Amino acid sequence: MDGVHDLGGMHGFGPVVLEEAEPVFHADWERRALALTLATGALGRWTIDRSRHVRESLPPALYLGSSYYEIWLRGLDRLLAESGLLDTGRAADIDDGLRPGAAPPAPAAVPWPTLRESLERGSPYDRDADAPARFAVGRRVRTLVMHPSGHTRLPRYARGKVGQVVAVRGAHVFPDRNAAPDAAGAARGSIRAQARPTSSPEWLYTVAFDGRELFGADADPTVTVTIDAFEPYLRPADAADVTADATDPADDADAADDVENRGTA
């Protein structure tokens, strides 16, 4: 979605100021916010991409007026409510809102040793591909012009731009598709029925863009920006390739619809 979280290339927000000797947490409540998010995420009621999209969906003024972990907590409110774990009549109070005896029964908490082992191991998102990669290193590609209502990892400033593939990263879970709400929650009526999240993979590429391609002729000519872009975001950029590709849904509007529909089919 085109939200205020996607700040790349925007004006009016000032420079990024680095905090010297920045602590991991600025207050004890931030530490607890992270722990609560990890503990509830381990219940398996939503995906990491769903949690990202929920945070991105906060009202603009609320998002911009919140600190990093405040955004996490506000997103967690919604995740708990839409999954059926939180009484929506008391959603403003996470501490008091967990419902005992909810139907179906609340999932059992994940013991800390098990959760710690999982965190240390990490969550791999690479998958076996269903088809070969469409683009090779050195191939010129153009990103789609798209404005999806759902989650996407293609930033606004890089849409409709020409770049060159500099690495093929393998097939990975496609975030746009994996950010759908939990179908179990929809079945209970806590959220409206939508597509199920799915981890079916798409090829991932690192694409290099000239800074002037992204930001115009006045941009620093020495700047190159690299973006990890999934295959559904890309189309061949060369004229011959576009002609040969004419039988595909290559029209940007149709292709953008296809990207969004992949998350709702």
CB 144 within 8 A of CB 159: yes
How many domains are there within the chain? 2
Which of the listed residues 89, 104, 123 is the one where a domain comes to its end? 123
Residue 259 has pLDDT above 90, yes or no: no
pLDDT, position 84: 84
If asked whether residues 56 and 105 sit together in one domain, one would say: yes
Residue 70 lies in a domain: yes
Last residue of a domain, one of 71, 100, 123: 123
Question: How confident is the prediction for the chain on average, in pLDDT?
Answer: 82
Say if residue 214's pLDDT is above 70. Answer: yes
Over residues 53-92, the pLDDT tens digits come to 999 999 999 999 999 999 999 999 999 998 888 766 555 5
Alpha-carbon torsion, ordered 122, 125, 127, 133, to 10 deg = -140
Q: Quick one: 132 and 249 in the same domain?
A: yes
* pLDDT score for 202: 96
Q: Is 213 helix (H, G, I), strand (E, B) or coil?
A: helix
pLDDT tens digits, one per residue of 150-163: 899 999 999 999 99
Kindly state whether residues 34 and 117 are assigned to the same domain.
yes
Q: Do both 53 and 71 map to the same domain?
A: yes
Cβ neighbours of residue 230 under 8 Å, at least 6 residues apart? Answer: 153, 154, 172, 174, 175, 176, 202, 203, 204, 205
pLDDT at residue number 89? 59
The domain in which residue 184 lies consists of 127-261
Residue 21 covered by a domain: no
The whole-number average pLDDT for the span 98-126 is: 75
pLDDT above 70: residue 100:
no
